[in-house]
């Protein structure tokens, strides 16, 4: 009993310390049935919040729901998971939302998404920069799973399997099992605007697209910006699919699935016309290639990288392409979302005379 009490007290101290370091924000979107969509981007859903360009929003996400018909707190106890009161509330919120959220177009399951959030002044032909100020797990565990017919080797999986990974938030690791620890890198698997009309009014959230969505890019962590093209007035931003960490490829179709709180700043860039998402970190620029065929996704990533290098540095095709071959890494983002992903990592350090600070404006 004393050991459990000490562990609970330690968890509370960790939560308190994290809260003290929370970036300031102007708006707080809570995880409620009214604030979510499940498995798709419903065009008929009205904005849950409209913010000015430059505004910062705290978004409480859901996830980690592996308890099926059980009470989530009973399930957690059976899994040996100790919860603080805030963490227990986060599980209750996810459970309530899954039971009560409105489903659209007969889509009953899929990503638990919060949104849409409208950004005033954003219009088609603009871009919205999503500055990822903070992403932190709300619960002290994650799950990773697989099942027949899914993942990177769908014919090799004999039966469904789910594994609970306990999160040591103080040491920033996920404990897969004793002696195997995975560094945490919390991020939101889904970040995107409402897809264009050509994608339909209830576009499923599984495959990513030019609008962003289920990019499942492990590099979109706190301290990174994601740039998204706008297709509708206000952009209409959604996020969800909380991850505590992931490997490149996400080969089972699952990362460390958890529930995160994300603090995001939204900035409208007028006239920034993008053909696909882009991203920037303190050390890299990133371009994305997306296609059901991984080879074609690679080709798109190369072309988007060439375009990004032209916009950034004025490098015409032959210089951008040859520089990409010797100085840019191309990573397999994921191979499991129907539309597969490649993203490039353009290191800033190769431009030795560029001293522009990140997030300087």
The answer, yes or no, to whether residue 126 has pLDDT greater than 60, is: yes
Residue 6: is its pLDDT beyond 50? Answer: no
| Residues 251 and 335 sit within 8 Å (Cβ to Cβ) | yes
Query: Domains in the chain, start-ordered, CATH in brackets?
Result: 2-269 (2.60.120.580), 282-350 (3.10.28.20)
Beta-bridged to residue 30, according to DSSP, are none
Q: Is 70 exceeded by the pLDDT of residue 1? A: no
For 310, phi and psi rounded to 5 degrees?
-65, -45
Residue 17: predicted pLDDT = 45
Nearest to 97 by CA among 86, 106, 105, 89: 89
Q: Give the pLDDT of residue 69.
A: 83
Name the nearest CA neighbour of 272 among 320, 226, 239: 226
- Give the strand pairing for 141-146 and 161-168: antiparallel
Which residue, 271, 233, 269, 267, is CA-closest to 125? 271
Percent of the chain with pLDDT strictly greater than 70 = 94
Among candidate residues 249, 251, 31, the one with its CA nearest the CA of residue 144? 251
d(Cα 320, Cα 330) in Å, to the nearest integer? 14
Q: How many residues are there in the chain? A: 361
What dihedral do alpha carbons 69, 71, 73, 79 form, nearest 10°? -40
Banded model confidence at residue 361, pLDDT cuts 50, 70, 90? low
Over the chain, what is the mean pLDDT? 93
| pLDDT tens-place string over residues 57-111 | 999 999 988 888 889 999 999 999 999 999 999 999 999 999 999 999 999 999 9
328-350: average pLDDT: 97
Specify the pairing of strand 49-51 against strand 112-119.
parallel
pLDDT at 356: 86
Phi and psi (nearest 5°) for 349? -65, -20
pLDDT classification of 16: cutoffs 50, 70, 90: very low
What residues does 136 pair with on adjacent strands?
261
What's the rounded Cα separation, in Å, for the pair 112 and 93? 12
**Chain CA centroid to CA 2, Å:** 38
Round to whole Å and give the CA distance between 160 and 154. 11
pLDDT of 132 higher than 80: yes
Per-residue pLDDT for 127 more than 70? yes
Model confidence pLDDT, tens digit, residues 156-172: 999 999 999 999 999 99
Residue, of 218 and 8, whose pLDDT is higher: 218
Residues 6+ away with beta carbon under 8 Å from 207: 213, 214, 292, 337, 338, 339
Taking the model in full, what pTM does it have?
Answer: 0.92
Strand order in the sheet with 278-280: 27-29, 56-60, 260-269, 127-137, 224-229, 278-280, 284-291, 340-347, 329-334
pLDDT tens for residues 181-233? 999 999 999 999 999 999 998 999 999 999 999 999 999 999 999 999 999 99
């Amino acid at each position: 009993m004393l050991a459990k009490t000490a562990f609970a007290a330690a968890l509370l101290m960790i939560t308190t310390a994290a809260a003290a370091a929370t970036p300031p924000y102007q708006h707080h979107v809570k995880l409620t049935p009214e604030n979510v969509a499940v498995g798709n981007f419903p065009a008929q859903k009205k904005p849950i919040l409209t913010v000015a360009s430059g505004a910062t929003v705290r978004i409480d996400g859901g996830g980690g729901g592996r308890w099926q018909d059980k009470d989530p707190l009973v399930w957690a106890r059976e899994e040996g998971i100790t919860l603080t009161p805030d963490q227990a509330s986060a599980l209750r919120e996810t459970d309530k939302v899954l039971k009560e959220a409105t489903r659209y177009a007969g889509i009953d399951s899929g990503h638990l998404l919060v949104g849409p959030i409208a950004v005033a002044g954003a219009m088609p032909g603009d871009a919205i920069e999503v500055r990822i100020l903070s992403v932190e797990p709300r619960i002290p565990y994650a799950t990773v799973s697989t099942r027949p017919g899914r993942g990177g080797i769908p014919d090799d999986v004999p039966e469904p399997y789910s594994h609970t990974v306990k999160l040591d938030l103080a040491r920033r690791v996920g404990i897969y099992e004793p002696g195997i620890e995975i560094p945490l890198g919390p991020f939101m698997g889904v970040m995107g605007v409402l897809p264009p009309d050509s994608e339909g009014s209830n576009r499923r959230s599984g495959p990513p697209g030019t609008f962003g969505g289920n990019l499942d890019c492990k590099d979109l962590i706190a301290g990174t910006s994601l740039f998204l093209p706008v297709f509708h007035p206000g952009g209409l931003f959604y996020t969800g699919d909380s991850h505590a960490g992931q490997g490149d490829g996400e080969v089972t179709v699952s990362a460390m699935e958890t529930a995160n709180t994300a603090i995001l700043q939204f900035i409208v860039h007028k006239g920034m016309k993008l053909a696909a998402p882009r991203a920037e970190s303190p050390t890299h620029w990133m371009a994305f290639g997306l296609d059901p065929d991984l080879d074609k996704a690679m080709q798109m990533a190369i072309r988007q990288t060439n375009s990004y290098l032209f916009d950034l540095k004025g490098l015409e095709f032959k210089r951008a392409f040859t520089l990409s071959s010797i100085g840019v890494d191309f990573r397999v983002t994921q191979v499991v979302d129907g539309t597969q992903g490649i993203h490039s990592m353009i290191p800033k350090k190769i431009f030795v005379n560029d001293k522009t600070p990140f997030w300087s404006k």
